[in-house]
Structure 1
Amino acid sequence: MEHGVLVPPVYSPIPPAIHPRHEHFDRRTAAWAQEFGIGSNALREKLIGHEIGTFAARILPDGDEEVIALLADFVLWLFGVDDGHCEEGELGTDPKELVPELSRLLRIAQNPQVPMLTDDPLAAGLRDLRRRMELHGTPAQLARWVDALREYFLSVVWEASHRSKGTVPDLNDYTLMRLYDGATSVVMPLLEMGRGYELQPHERDDTAVRAAAEMAYFIITWDNDLFSYHKESRAQQWYLNVVRVLEHHHGMDPAQAMETAVAQRDRVMCLFLRLQARLSATGSPQLRQYLDSLAAFIRAAQDWGISSRRYTTPEDPADLPTAFRDTPTDDSTEPLDIPAVSWWWDTVPEGPAPAASHRGSALDGNRPAEVPHLAVPERVPAGRHRHTYA
């Protein structure tokens, strides 16, 4: 049975946190969306109801408030592109037309002064986002943001090519595409801006650090696939997520595919914890902040994913969990049989994951932890860093 598949509680050893003014960011982002007319009226109202400001407040629970607002506006803008242009718009099934449109937007991100798309609301919103990023980011961070935006645009064109033909990529291609079309990497520069640091290139470009970031992208997007499966599978249109990939190419029924996807993300979460512990032991304070940001992003996406109207779809309720597991369903140290990411396991020495004690964790024994949706984070005095696993 394709519909009504239970999404089990997923493994989440990362403690929740949220900025105490999260409702303020929801209101502020709603006003920004209205000011720039992001998407159609119907899409805009829907996006405003998804509490994207709260999502940003979870990602940066101790961040600069102006950057949290910027992050929230950017995430809403990304949904305007993804939902409006790609999933629900005509361009989403016409990669030949989608490429030039996204290329024009990329040019505006590179140079907001160019006289292009002068009457386009998404372009106007992007110009505003870029202007505000210049107030908080370094030139190198802005350059990385543009590079990540290019990766995101390339991946959604790849997805559009499948949508136009109604095809389903195999698991390896899907994994590679999903690392970028989930728009995870494109928000990373804002996480640095929000906490007032810049990770130096020799650490950022280290193979193990890059692997840690990609593991976070994988966990976030796999979780998103689990939480959005109900909404997508009932939309009466072409959709793509890991559950469907496993059904299509591996002959699984939805329940088997769901169980397999959960095991995959659990195995990667265990690997992420081991790598984070190793890198935190020897890395700079900036690297520890970066790793902490990755962990916060993972947990933020989980809490938002099971509580936002975007995925709970109250008009047709999704069977989503209200709690998280404190033990993985799969803690194997063997690499996943996915060539695009199997190299991650080479970055972590053999051996069990180190035991971690999480300050403020809601986890208790072997029972699923109830989700504290409005937990207030510990405030960090200036000059100190809050480390999840250090």
Structure 2
Amino acid sequence: MGPGLIVPPLYSPIPPAIHPRHAEIDVQTAAWAETFRIGSEELRGRLVRQDIGTFCARILPEGRDEVVSLLADFVLWLFGVDDGHCEEGELGHRPGDLAGLLHQLLRVAQNPEAPVLPDDPLAAGLRDLRMRVDRYGTAGQAARWVDALREYFFSVVWEASHRRAGTVPDLNDYTLMRLYDGATSVVLPMLEMGYGYELQPHERDHTAVRAAAEMASFIITWDNDIFSYHKEKAGSGYYLNVLRVLEHHEKLTAQDALTTAIAQRDRVMCLFLRLTEHLSRNGSPQLRRYLASLASFIRGAQDWGISSVRYTTPDDPANMPSAFSDRPTDTGSAPLDIPVIAWWWALPPSSPASGTARRPAQRAA
């Protein structure tokens, strides 16, 4: 993390869990990457060593084997796009051209039979992913997956505009786009697919449930920024994460930026726990499963973050924790001074099932 900068154990009250077939899933995902030749040979070689299958086995520890494998292949594919085109490729400095390519990939996700990018490995991989989404999910889940992919693509073009200009967005703008450019929202439909249910719209689209998903995204991306700071700062290119935003706009030292970011994610974690506990008491079995999966997603990303060579960077070791803390550094109940998410703290303790108590709930698979 740079001289003297050490990441302390982060607050994580969520218990760890992992799918029993995680090692096999990791091997299968490496083979899938080779079959579709995702990214350059050098990039692919790096990605298959980063335990991406194990990461996804932590997200869906009791999920259907086929969906855990699908999720792992998809996450590796996302890194092929993000690392290959956005972070390290020329298109990462050309937002207009990047938008053009991503629109073509979006068309492949919408209509895999369309003759778009016929010789492109990322397009071929995406066609395979879409067919498997259709096999293991519903039409509604496939549509939400495509919509979330559009959100992700839109946000990485925004990031590319800053990369080209060498500018650093303020904390409010960064927070908003980080909810999407971390590619967390594209995973959400697969949380449902993994356990073979479909969350009803009156629950999924309820303001409080949507907020819980956004809180999970915030925690996951803040943790990722903390864990990846050493790797990104040590690189020669442009990088953007919350520590750099705080250093640049708040004029904080790296240590103070780290302390501030940890306090921010701790306060959101405390709010997430309070909200999901309330929602779980009042929601359907499907909603309880969904909220538990959000928690597994958070913890899975944490366990992967402190163990994967993607972030531990053995050749230039990062000062990472080997465990987690059971105490938050910030338990405040006041909203963070970030307007785009301050509304989370104003949520009334209402059930997403309010007014729909007579609606029959499906059994959770």
2:132 corresponds to: 132
Q: What is the CA RMSD across the aligned residues, in angstroms? A: 1.3
Residues 346-361 of structure 1 correspond to what in structure 2 (within 5 A)? 346-347=346-347, 349=349
CA distance in 2 between counterparts of 1:3 and 1:121 reads 40
Q: Name the SS of the counterpart of 1:262 in structure 2.
A: helix
2:86 corresponds to: 86
Residues 47-86 of structure 1 correspond to what in structure 2 (within 5 A)? 47-86=47-86
CA distance in 1 between counterparts of 2:213 and 2:53 reads 23
CA distance in 1 between counterparts of 2:41 and 2:5 reads 32
CA distance in 2 between counterparts of 1:4 and 1:95 reads 36
1:366 corresponds to: none
2:256 corresponds to: 256
Q: Name the SS of the counterpart of 1:17 in structure 2.
A: coil
CA contact (8 A) 2:2 2:230 kept: no
1:11 corresponds to: 11
The CA deviation string for residues 271-300 of structure 1, in whole angstroms up to 9 with x for no partner, is 000000110111011110110010000000
Which consecutive segments of 4 or more residues in structure 1 shift more than 6 A?
Answer: none
Q: CA deviation at 1:384?
A: 7.3
TM-score by length of 1: 0.89
For structure 1, which runs of at least 5 residues remain unmatched after alignment? 350-382, 386-390
Q: Name the SS of the counterpart of 1:158 in structure 2.
A: helix
Change (3 A) 1:261 1:348: farther
Q: CA deviation at 1:236?
A: 1.4
Q: CA deviation at 1:237?
A: 1.1
CA contact (8 A) 1:274 1:348 kept: no
1:178 corresponds to: 178
Q: CA deviation at 1:20?
A: 1.3
CA distance in 2 between counterparts of 1:60 and 1:4 reads 36
CA contact (8 A) 1:3 1:234 kept: no
2:30 corresponds to: 30
Residues 152-231 of structure 1 correspond to what in structure 2 (within 5 A)? 152-231=152-231
For structure 2, which runs of at least 5 residues remain unmatched after alignment? 350-362
| Counterpart amino acid of residue 62 in structure 1 | E
CA distance in 2 between counterparts of 1:141 and 1:195 reads 13
| Counterpart amino acid of residue 219 in structure 1 | I
The CA deviation string for residues 202-233 of structure 1, in whole angstroms up to 9 with x for no partner, is 11111000000000000000000000000000
Q: Name the SS of the counterpart of 1:323 in structure 2.
A: coil
1:354 corresponds to: none
The answer to whether structure 1 residue 325 and structure 2 residue 342 are counterparts is no
Q: Name the SS of the counterpart of 2:186 in structure 1.
A: helix
Q: CA deviation at 1:4?
A: 5.0
2:354 corresponds to: none
CA contact (8 A) 1:4 1:318 kept: no
2:234 corresponds to: 234
Q: Name the SS of the counterpart of 1:58 in structure 2.
A: helix
Matched length? 353
1:304 corresponds to: 304
TM-score by length of 2: 0.95
